[in-house]
Every structure is written in structure tokens, then in C-alpha cells.
Amino acid sequence: MQTGCSVAWGSKTVVITFSHPLSSPLKGNELKKMKPNRGKTCAGERDYVYMLSAGNQHFVLTVPLKFPVQENISHLHGRLMLLHNLPCFVENDLKQSLNKFIEDETIKGYDREAEMALEAVKSGEVDINQLAETWAKAYKETTLEYAKPEENSWDEDFADVYHDLIHSPASETLLNLEHNYFVSISELISERDVELKKLQERQGAEMDKVMQELGKSLTDQDVNSLAARHFESQQDLENKWTNELKQSTAIQKQEYQEWVIKLHHDLKNPNNSSISDEIKVQPSQLRDSVEGNGRIYEEQSLLEESFTIHLGAQLKTMHNLRLLRADMLDFCKHKRNHRNGVKLHRLQTAMSLYSTSLCGLVLLVDNRISSYSGIKRDFATVCQECTDFHFPGIQEQLEIVQKVVLKARAQRSNKAKRHHGNKDSGIEDKSKNIERNQSNILQGEFYITRHSNLSEIHVAFHLCVDDNVRSGNITARDPAIMGLRNILKVCCTHDITTISIPLLLVHDMSEEMTIPWCLKRAELVFKCVKGMLVNVSAHF
């Protein structure tokens, strides 16, 4: 670091000159704390000269500095003090002198660049019109007052149009059209189920015949070959119906959105005399369901009780609490009949779709982000029975969630490796476990899907739980309870004013869930909800 230094004595003056600039040999932690100057200055080396007088002796320190200076000036000052064993009483003076020198030389560098730019403009090397356009564009992009307003996307425009129509006399027409689309998709799904059932029955009969001949005229290879053909046939049939459903829903969505836009445009035109015919509901246009098709949802008598509660110590807030015995998917399913109660539920959901009074639902799922088993499959089936005209389909949303989870897992794993260096065996084992299941979520985590085609909800919270929730010894620190707290926090910060929660944190009852077990679990969930609501009310 001190190579090439020369010391000259004469007239009681000591001159110390370094041939290498101090800006080059930074390493390690010093390199991490660099603070580069903004902009560009003329690069080059300039000699910093510091004069020190001690009694009758005068010392001159000359150090070449490379500009632009990208080191922290405090670090550079400390290195000068350390390398040359300078006395402590010159520390402040050296720092001020160094700061002033770097600041002055940087400004001079800017001035030189400005002069060179002006000369380039005067000589015609730079097109002044193009330069003015570039400056004007940069100014508009960085100054909010002169920036162009952001253009609304198609989804935002359609949302505004739909919100206006659903609060107009055309609301009943919209609901009836959505119901007709729902009946059409439901019929396709019924045909698919019937065809798949017939194929399975036919394949089952063929397999029974083959199994009877096994060991006589047929071998295990023949059985495996037949099973492979059956699987391929079933996959081909499922793919055929999946493509047909996708095509039907895409056509319905396009037709619906175009009709909504046209109807809104006609409503805005006061001279349009045919508008009353467009929103007029004809009984013959409604497609009532046919009894006995196997997909009518039976209505059961509901057991429910409602309460009004006030929470908070000083500032009390009012909440409505409803205890209801029902399947969680009953809040999602559409009914095919046109009874007033069903239509009112659907109308309320549609009118509050783009509002500050959203409705949510908590579903308890496993750690795999999919729709292939359990309640996830049943929920996806309900979502697919009616076309979603506002949001992506359930499968598209799950694919987006998987991508986000993979990205989050990778970032978390890299951060853990940087901080701990994989020295801790426990951390290393946990990191390996996460890497083996990159697309899975952890207990207590949840993902959110949005829906406009469900009966009474707009948002579904998919909370990951395990079999531990069936035991009777979970506490307030259990991942399921902590996940429920986080869900309530999201509801309070994102205008979800109604949330349906499985009170016992299970969807199916079993023998070990006795009355004491139910009372203990209900008390735990109630305390969790109360504590979260009180905490949130104190901050809003």
C-alpha cells in the first residue's frame, strides 16, 4: 500500500508523496460501505495536498485521489490517519480539509462536463431539438404535476361499468343472464360426469373379465396393458371435456363483457328508445332447471342464531356475530331455482363486488397448492360451475400462487444461507426440507383467491392446517390459530367486513370430537377472534 513513496528533506519541510491513489486498494468490509456519488464527473487523478506545521517544522502530505471518489470519506480520512501515524490534534482539521477538497474538485468536474456539453451543442455535435425532447420527457416522468394521468386498464373500465349497472334497473337482467350461463355450464358438467361414469363402468367390467382369465389365458402383462389403455382413454375424455369447458367459459365471458359495455353505453344515451327492451326481463328467456338431473342442491333447514356484541375498553366497536350450522361450501354454491331468498343473496353479493364491504370465507386445506383432492376439489368444482366474468379462473389463480410461493421460498432460502452460512445443522436441515418441497406452504400460511361467481363470498382464504387441529391440546400459539389471526388482520386492512370461519377449525366431525372438545375449541377460537378485533379496533 505504501510502495513507491519518497521522502524529501529540505528547509525543514517534509514532503510525503504516494504514487498509488488511495481509492484503489479497498477490500473486505470497506468495499461494502462505499457510497458512490450521484452523476458522472470527469475521471482522473488529482493531488490532495495537506500542510501541517509543528513548531519550526512544516510537513506536506500529498496523496493522489482518483475521481469520482466512491469511498466513504470518513473511511478515507481514517486510513490517512492510520497509515501516516498523524497526531490526533490534526484529525478534525484533516477531515474538514479532505471534505472541502473532494467537494470542490467534484463541483469543478461537473462544471467541466457542463462546459463540454455546451460546447458540443454550440458546435452542432448534439441535436438541440432531440436534447430538448429528452429533457422534457424526463421532466414529465419525474414531476407528478406534469405527468400524464395513468390510463385505466380494461379490467378497471369493466369494473366501473359493472358497478354502475348493478346499481341500476338493469341489475335483475344481469343476474338472470348470469344464471342462464350458470345453467349452461352446469349442464355441460353433468354431461361430463355421466360420460365419465359410463366409461368407468365399462372399464370396470372389462377389467373384471380380464382378472377372471388371469393365470389361464392372460398374464400380468396383459392386465397392465389393459390398465394403461383404460388410463389413456380416461385422460383423453377428461382433456376433451376440460377443453370444451374452457372454450365455453371463454365465449361466455367475452359475450357477457361485450353485452355489459354495450348496455352501459346505451344507458348513457338518453335518445335510445330501445333501452327498455334491452333490460326488460321476459319469463320465456329464463332457463329454469329440470328436476331430476342429479345436480340440484338440496336445501336443508338451517340452525342459526345471531348476536350483536361490543368490543373494546374505551372506544367500543359493534360487531354482528352469527352462529350457523352449515357446510362451508353452502356459502359458495348457486341454487338453480329462482326463489326470492336466493336472488337476494346473489344480488347483495353482486352489488358489493366493487365496494368496501367484501365477504370472505376460510377454507382449511393441506400444504399442497392444488385442486385435486378433498375440499379443494369440491371448491374448485363449485367455482367452475359458473363462469367468472371479472377474475381469472381458479386454476389460473392457483398457478400464480405457486409461482409466488416458489419465488418467496427461493428468496428466504438464499437469505438464510447468507446469514448463517449453513453452519447450524438445524437450520441446514430445515433449509433442505424447504428445498425438497419448494411449491408447498407451511402450517399456518394461507393464500387468497378472488371470485365473482360464488353465491355469498368474494374472497377465499385457504389456510394450511395439519392433523394436529383434530387434537384437543392446541394452544393460542398453534400455527392454525396464528394463521387465523393473520387472516383477520388482512380482513381489517382490505375492507373485508364479513368473514365466515369454521368455528371448530375442522370441516368434518369425528368420534373423538366430544362435547367438551367442541366447547374447548370454540372458546379458543372465540378468544382469538375477540383479541384480534380488539387489537385492530385500537389502531383504526
pLDDT at 450 over 90: yes
Helix (H, G, I), strand (E, B) or coil at 269: coil
Q: What is the mean pLDDT of residues 357-370?
A: 91
72-417-369 Cα angle (round to 5): 125
Sheet holding 13-17, edge to edge: 6-10, 13-17, 57-67, 44-54
The stretches of 168-219 forming alpha helices (DSSP H) are 171-212
pLDDT at 447 over 80: yes
The pLDDT > 90 percentage for the chain reads 21
Cα distance between residue 467 and residue 102, in whole Å: 66
Cα distance between residue 390 and residue 451, in whole Å: 8
Cα separations (Å) of 389 from 250, 252, 371, 464?
Answer: 9, 8, 21, 28
Write the pLDDT tens digit of every residue in 268-281. Answer: 876 665 555 556 54
Closest CA to 342 of 296, 387, 381: 296
Share the mean pLDDT of the chain: 79
pTM: 0.66
What integer pLDDT is reported at residue 426 of this predicted model? 52
**What would you report as the CA-atom Rg of the chain, rounded to the nearest whole angstrom?**
36
| 272 or 157, which is more confident | 157
**To which H or E segment does residue 511 belong?**
none
Q: What grid cell was written down for 533?
A: 378485533
> 284-288, 318-322, 456-460 — which one is most confidently predicted on average?
456-460
pLDDT at 203 over 50: yes
Cβ atoms 491, 394 nearer than 8 A: no
Cell 463540454: give the residue.
Answer: 116
Write the pLDDT tens digit of every residue in 69-120. Answer: 877 888 888 888 888 888 888 888 888 888 888 888 888 888 888 888 888 8
533 HSE (CA, 13 A, CB side): 21
Write the pLDDT tens digit of every residue in 114-135. Answer: 888 888 888 888 888 888 888 8
What is the 8-class DSSP label of residue 334?
A: P
pLDDT at 448 over 90: yes
Per the document, the length of the chain is 540
Residue 397: pLDDT band with limits 50, 70, 90: very high
SS3 content of the chain, % helix, strand, coil (to 5): 55, 15, 30
The 10 Å Cβ neighbour count of residue 321 is: 11
Residue 373: pLDDT band with limits 50, 70, 90: confident
* Burial class of residue 123 in the structure, from the number of CB atoms within 10 Å of its CB (0-12 exposed, 13-18 middle, 19+ buried): exposed
Cα separations (Å) of 347 from 310, 352, 353?
Answer: 29, 9, 10
What integer pLDDT is reported at residue 62 of this predicted model? 86
Cell 346473489: give the residue.
Answer: 346
Cell 451543442: give the residue.
Answer: 121
CA-based end-to-end distance of the chain? 60
88 HSE (CA, 13 A, CB side): 0
Cβ atoms 261, 278 nearer than 8 A: no
| 6 or 257, which is more confident | 257
Q: What is the mean pLDDT of residues 26-34?
A: 32
Cβ atoms 472, 366 nearer than 8 A: no
Strands 358-365 and 496-500: parallel
Cα distance between residue 67 and residue 56, in whole Å: 34
Cα distance between residue 483 and residue 464, in whole Å: 8
Q: What grid cell was written down for 485?
A: 389471526
Q: How does 418-450 read in b/e, with b if 16+ C-beta sit within 10 Å?
A: eeeeeeeeeeeeebeebeeeeebbebbbbbebe
Cα distance between residue 294 and residue 432, in whole Å: 48
**252 Cβ partners below 8 Å, 6+ apart?**
181, 184, 185, 387, 389
